[in-house]
Amino acid sequence: MTSALDNIRASLVGLKMPRALEALDHTMQQIERGDITAIEAIDTLLSEEFTNRETRRVTVALMTSKLLPAKTLESFDFSFQPSLDKSRIMALAQLDFVKRAETVHFLGPPGTGKSHLATALGVACVKAGKSVYRATLAELIEALLKAEREGRLVEKLRFYARAALLIVDEIGYLPISTGGANLFFQLVSVRYEKGAMILTSNRGFAEWGEVFGDPVVATALLDRLLHHAIVVQIEGASYRLRHHTDLIPEHVRSNAPISPPPPPPPPKRRGRPTKQEANIKQTS
Ligand code: ADP
Ligand code: MG
């Protein structure tokens, strides 16, 4: 005759619950010693199995989503980036923007945490059981160009359209060919109002014509990507270079745009300032 314990073992094997099976003997001993009640034992076995499965699911999902190395909002030092409103980022982590299929833009100079924040939101999304895919713009376009050459473009566009959240990192670092820009436009059109996106860029929207090599495509892209959009502008120093500020030229440290030096001030006159000089003082 098989005992109830043997039955439980067989069921756990059949149900593919290895972690609960592993914990069974120890949990039984705890019951026998009177350390835990039967209900606590059930709770232990199920939660051990569930935690184990969740950890595995998240690990695999982070890999297939291309979110490794993973980042979290807990490991983001908001005090280093005072221009960033922490509560706004924490609100984004509630993931309502994913449900509403909105677009989040992280804009700012290199090293200010754009990719970190985008990845951290992606990780939160994976943990919440939603599908995510992350790529740099260059990777996306390369994959789309390859699929087009091989006659698999529709399939590839469908693949990118499927994720609940698509993260497009590093817009603006590399110039995009006309063919590439058109393919990216097709991708954005396929996802428009259907799925959420996070985009990161070191270039302002006014420069997108230059980035995509074509002002018409850039305008059409922005038309869709700025509709239902949340724009987070980060203005600060690079976290990567935080220990090397003395080695960085002033115009980079202060994130000032690289521009020719200002013209020298006009020679000082005695007496009351002219109307023009008074205006300059007021506005500066
Ligand atoms: P960006 O994408 O804006 O160029 P990253 O997000 O890649 O910058 O940040 C560069 C590196 O610095 C990453 O390793 C990131 O995890 C880290 N980092 C950036 N900002 C912060 C911050 N405020 N707190 C903690 N780590 C940060
Ligand atoms: Mg980045």
Q: How confident is the model over 90-109, as pLDDT tens digits?
A: 999 999 999 999 999 999 99
**pLDDT, mean over the chain:** 89
- As given in the structure block, the two tokens for residue 266 are 């006009």
Question: CA torsion sign, 187 to 192 to 198 to 199?
Answer: positive
Closest CA to 172 of 199, 209, 202, 205: 202
In the predicted model, is pLDDT for residue 210 greater than 90? yes
Q: How confident is the model over 191-206, as pLDDT tens digits?
A: 999 999 999 999 999 9
Tell me the CA–centroid distance for residue 272 and ligand 2, in Å.
Answer: 51
Tell me the CA–centroid distance for residue 77 and ligand 1, in Å.
Answer: 9
The model carries a pTM of 0.83
Task: Give the pLDDT of residue 199.
Answer: 98
Closest CA to 65 of 134, 165, 8, 121: 134
Q: How confident is the model over 140-161, as pLDDT tens digits?
A: 999 999 999 999 999 999 999 9
d(CA 284, CA 277): 11
Q: How confident is the model over 222-236, as pLDDT tens digits?
A: 999 999 999 999 998
In the predicted model, is pLDDT for residue 5 greater than 80? yes
Task: Give the pLDDT of residue 265.
Answer: 54
Q: Show the CA angle centred on residue 201, arms to residues 194 and 167, nearest 5°.
A: 35
Question: CA torsion sign, 150 to 155 to 158 to 160?
Answer: negative
What is 66-93 written as a DSSP string? T-PSP--STT--GGG-TTS-HHHHHHHT
In the predicted model, is pLDDT for residue 250 greater than 90? no
- Better-predicted residue by pLDDT, 63 or 237: 63
Closest CA to 234 of 68, 71, 89: 89
Tell me the CA–centroid distance for residue 239 and ligand 1, in Å.
Answer: 6
Task: Please give the single-letter amino acid code of residue 221.
Answer: L
Helices H, strands E: what count in the chain?
Answer: 13, 5
Give the pLDDT band of residue 113 (cuts 50, 70, 90): very high
Q: Provide the CATH topology of domain 78-252.
A: Rossmann fold (3.40.50)
- Better-predicted residue by pLDDT, 246 or 208: 208
In the predicted model, is pLDDT for residue 281 greater than 50? no
- The average pLDDT across 55-69 equals 97
DSSP-based three-state secondary structure for 134 = strand
Task: Give the pLDDT of residue 276.
Answer: 46
Smallest CA separation from ligand 1 atom 20, residue: 113
d(CA 171, CA 205): 11
- The average pLDDT across 248-262 equals 50
Peptide bond preceding 110 in cis form (omega within 30 of 0): no
- The average pLDDT across 167-171 equals 98
Quick one: DSSP state of residue 151? Answer: T
- As given in the structure block, the two tokens for residue 250 are 């002033």
**Which residues have any ligand 1 atom within 6 Å of their CB?**
71, 76-77, 80-81, 108, 110-116, 200, 239-240
DSSP-based three-state secondary structure for 174 = coil
Smallest CA separation from ligand 1 atom 7, residue: 115
> CB-hemisphere CA count at 13 Å for 224?
21
Please state the domain extents for the chain: 2-64, 78-252
- Better-predicted residue by pLDDT, 244 or 219: 219
Q: Which atom of ligand 1 is nearest to the CA of 75?
A: 25
Q: Show the CA angle centred on residue 159, arms to residues 138 and 228, nearest 5°.
A: 75
Residue at token pair 């000082």:
268
Find all residues with CB under 8 Å of 102, minimum gap 6, and list them: 196, 228, 229, 230
DSSP-based three-state secondary structure for 171 = strand
Q: How many C-beta atoms surround the C-beta of residue 200 within 10 A? A: 27
In the predicted model, is pLDDT for residue 267 greater than 60? no
Cα-based distances in Å from 235 to 80, 112, 171: 11, 8, 17
In the predicted model, is pLDDT for residue 240 greater than 90? no
In the predicted model, is pLDDT for residue 273 greater than 60? no
